[in-house]
Chain A
Amino acid sequence: MENRLTVSSSPHIRSNETTKSIMRDVTIALAPAAAFGVYNFGLRALTILVLSILTAIGTEALCQMIRKQPITIYDFSAVVTGLLLGMNLPSTVPYWIPVVGSFFAIAVVKQAFGGLGHNFINPALAARALLVASWPVQMTTWVAVKPDTQTSATVLGILKEGLDVPLPKITDMLMGTIGGCIGETSALLLLLGGLYLIYRGVISIKIPGIYIGTVAVLTLIITGFDVNLTMIHILSGGLILGAFFMATDYASSPITPKGQIIYAVGMGLLTTIIRFYGGYPEGVSYSILLMNVAAPLIDKYSKPRVFGGAK
């Protein structure tokens, strides 16, 4: 035979899913909520998102050049990090905030630890934590969407401070016509994106379902079965965004089936504790980050039992 046959180890067929298709799906899933954020908060929000994404891509390319690694900016993973960070910023932040945040997320949290798949915590969330800790004033100035007020605290802020301000309606929270970060306000669109990811097989319902479920159950108990208040807790503070898009980050979550349950319950527990008993009004970011750090340990102690292995 003239041509050479390929000889390789089985299996000889692979699924169509690639790293790129996964990251592209996440971007698609985030797009409706991000677009709604721009609609809500105006061009300023768009500029912040674009700055955040471009900085992420640029930093990734720069780091890979310095590390003499292949440039992988076309796999959309930097886009996802940039977009997620942008969506987690208030629309009022100065323009250097997304730049600093994205640079930190990619250069320090992701590339310094080995690049894609090696970040031990969620890069976007880590950047957000850095920004909140360093520039708390800029990071917590909210604009209300409804024209009658100029600035307002977030829903959880109102609850925490016991402010005498009417709580928003559940329907407004679902739709997203409330104050908050650019991409966290519309629970409905975020859920839609989450369902898309589940449909595409990118994530399973397990982590977000158990996480949100744990928060719901604990909040019901703590509030003495106040369903309305519980709904407010579920729909606010970026819980939906965090549970579907950040807690499910592959690299920083456990890989074992049992480990993922422990991880999700842990986040639900921490979020509720921080919200009700902690110093911050909001606990999603820190609980995800804390459980991220615990993920390797959880994996170690939740090894699946081999088929036919000893019980």
Chain B
Amino acid sequence: MGLLSFKGGIHPPHSKKSTENLAIVDFLGPKVVEIPLRQHIGAPCEATVKKGDEVKVGQLIGAAGGFVSANVHSSVSGTVLDVRKQNTAYGFDTCVVIENDEQYTKHESVTPKPDFKSLSGKEIINIIKEAGIVGMGGAGFPTHVKLSPPPEKPIDTIVLNGAECEPYLTCDHRLMLEESAMIIKGLQILMQALGVKNGVIGIESNKPDAISVMTEAAKNTDIKVVGLKTKYPQGAEKQLIFACTNRAIPSGGLPMDIGVVVNNVATAATIGNLFETGMPLIQRVCTVTGKGIKSPKNIRFRVGTPLKSLIEFCDGYNGTPGKILLGGPMMGVAQFSDELPAMKNTSGILVFSQEQAKLPEASACIKCGKCVTVCPINLEPIQISAYSMLHDYDKAAKFNALDCIECGSCSFICPAKRPLLQTIRVAKREILARRKK
């Protein structure tokens, strides 16, 4: 079978060896969880519990603050110690702090859902909405919003993202190996929700075991499992859709413009589990790895667990940490502390050593044009970056700065180590700010 792909892209070292063969382990702790009421793109939730309340696993503790928002549920049972503002990976947000009684008593609302085949699309989407499901690949976009396209945008295909093109991360890989049936079920539920016949699961070729396990699991269904060329950013929405369906999302458009909805395999597994057990999104798998971690692991943790507890579960830091990233090394976000709660979209905790954290010194652009060659969107990063640094944002906009998907391929490849993506981000923000005026 030929591998599907896109034009451009880069080949960073995979760095997945240390965790790709490690089975997912559960982390039950910690003593106290801090569950942020904003773990998604959109409006923050309103707390539905107060200090002193007793809560159970799966109980609603934060109600969605709008359509583009997602409910938050308790991940443990115990007592609410406080509802307070504190640091999170998204900024300074309200968190529900719960003391874990370590009983993990299930809330009464957590009961298996009816057979999805007997449900209408609206009913399924409502169940997903109630369960606070968000995109678990990283962005954390509320899933029910994706599943509610306007009527003039008919959807005919659902693509599941099993590419996991970020180096270091192996949580999706392990999930596909260990919970393939749940992923298939989740995809079938999504297909039923939108009345869609085509379901495709795209997996990078560096996970041959996952491709064969998923292919086996998809037997006797209409779902297609396709091998994708191992190349970054194969799992970026536009590139993934192009590889899997040969359709290109128009510039400035969304997947629904070409009849496609994309979800992560982890999201599908969570939806499968939701219908099986009734449990909302209160836990997920993440890869804790990197040179700065003593014993890297793939961990299933409860939302709100402090990063520090997960790192201690991996036998702590290996030397003094230099950088802590949420996500992978290409698109992950650097954190200033390990005293932050892990969230619904925490796919990886990557810790660099001090040596790895050193920032390269930028030198003069030698106009090699490699950034142009690798850009998966066919932009000219060199030009956008140069105009951005001159504060000429109109020119940067003319070079289509807003089309940038921020994959970081340009910065990765640049031999002069110039901050290409960083300056392009500045340009994007300035252009958008000016348009709003």
Contacts and interface: CB of A to CB of B under 8 A. Distances in A.
A118 to B, nearest CB: 8
Given A5-B324, A8-B334, A304-B380, A310 B251 contact: yes
- Is the contact region of chain B dominated by helix, strand, or loop, or is it mixed? loop
Interface string B330-366: 1111111110000000000010101001111001111
A294 to B, nearest CB: 15
B382 interface: yes
B378 A11 contact: no
A96 interface: no
Contacts of B249: 308
Interface string A238-276: 000000000000110111110010000000000000000
B411 A14 contact: yes
Contacts of B12: 13, 15
B425 interface: yes
A151 interface: no
Given A7-B334, A19-B415, A255-B369, A307 B359 contact: no
Contact of A10 (B324, B369, B379, B421): B421
A22 B416 CA distance: 10
A19 B373 CA distance: 17
Given A5-B334, A250-B366, A308-B248, A10 B417 contact: no
B380 A303 contact: yes
Interface string A296-311: 0000000111111110
B203 interface: no
Interface stretch (B46-54, B91-99, B315-323): B315-323
Contacts of A149: none
B313 interface: no
B380 A7 contact: no
Interface string B388-412: 0000000000011001001011011
Contact of A256 (B238, B372, B406): B372
Contacts of B7: 307
A14 B323 contact: no
Contacts of A305: 378
Contacts of A18: 415-417
A254 B372 CA distance: 11
B29 interface: no
A14 B366 contact: no
A164 interface: no
Nearest to A77: B366
A251 B415 contact: no
Contact of B369 (A6, A12, A250): A250
Contacts of A72: 363-364
A42 to B, nearest CB: 35
Given A9-B422, A306-B403, A14 B412 contact: yes
Contacts of B358: 6
A118 B367 CA distance: 8
A12 B419 CA distance: 11
Query: Chain A, interface size: which category?
Result: 35 or more
A15 B359 contact: no
B417 A255 contact: no
Most buried by B among A3, A7, A12, A304: A12
B334 A12 contact: yes
Contacts of A115: 364
B323 A5 contact: yes
Contact of A307 (B238, B365, B399, B417): B238
Contacts of A260: 369
B414 A11 contact: no
A12 B366 contact: no
A253 B382 CA distance: 14
Nearest to A252: B367
A80 to B, nearest CB: 11
Given A10-B333, A11-B412, A257 B248 contact: no
Nearest to A254: B369
B377 interface: yes
A115 B331 CA distance: 33
A15 B9 CA distance: 13
Interface string B248-273: 11110100000000000000000000
A11 B322 contact: no
Interface string B415-429: 111010110010000
Nearest to B371: A255
Given A6-B322, A13-B412, A255-B382, A307 B248 contact: yes
Contact of B367 (A8, A14, A117): A117
Nearest to A12: B329
B251 A307 contact: yes
Contacts of A307: 7, 238, 242, 248, 251, 376-378, 403
A208 B23 CA distance: 50
B359 A22 contact: no
Nearest to A305: B378
A128 B326 CA distance: 54
Nearest to A72: B363
Contacts of B325: 12
B346 to A, nearest CB: 15
Given A7-B335, A9-B421, A18-B417, A306 B372 contact: no
Most buried by B among A75, A204, A253, A309: A309
Most buried by A among B367, B414, B416: B367
Contacts of A306: 251, 377-379, 400, 403
A19 B372 contact: no
Contacts of B352: 6, 12
Contacts of A309: 250-251, 378, 400, 403
A307 B366 CA distance: 25
B167 interface: yes
25 contacts: A3-B321, A3-B354, A6-B334, A7-B323, A9-B421, A10-B406, A12-B330, A13-B329, A15-B413, A19-B416, A22-B415, A116-B363, A250-B369, A254-B369, A255-B372, A255-B382, A257-B372, A257-B373, A303-B380, A306-B378, A306-B400, A307-B248, A307-B403, A308-B250, A309-B251
Interface of A: 1, 3, 5-15, 17-19, 21-22, 72, 75, 77, 115-118, 204, 250-251, 253-257, 260, 303-310
Given A22-B366, A305-B378, 11 more contacts: A3-B354, A5-B334, A5-B336, A7-B334, A10-B408, A12-B323, A14-B417, A15-B413, A115-B364, A118-B364, A304-B372
A-B complex: 6 closest residue pairs judged by Cβ atoms? A11-B408, A255-B369, A9-B422, A304-B378, A6-B357, A250-B368
